[in-house]
Amino acid sequence: MKNEGTIDRAIRVIVGLAILSLAFIGLQSPWAYIGLIPLLTGLVGFCPLYKLVGINTCKDCQQ
């Protein structure tokens, strides 16, 4: 089941990669691995928080 639309997924992947890059350049902090969350949810197309709140940005997906 997916609950993220195409634009939402693209933004999540871009933001996730940007945050994750901080683990290797810039701050080099382990906290930058938090970028895996938006990256993975963007790649999979499902956000557990969206499910909990009842949000669905995917127009082509069935409920």
- Tens digit of each residue's pLDDT (9 = 90 or more) over 4-31: 999 999 999 999 999 999 888 877 888 8
Give Cα separations from 38 to 9, 53, 59 (angstroms). Answer: 9, 17, 20
Task: Give the whole-number percent of the chain exceeding pLDDT 70.
Answer: 97
Q: CB–CB of 23/32 below 8 Å?
A: yes
Is the pLDDT score of 63 beyond 60? no
What is the structure's pLDDT at 49? 96
Predicted TM-score (pTM) of this structure:
0.88
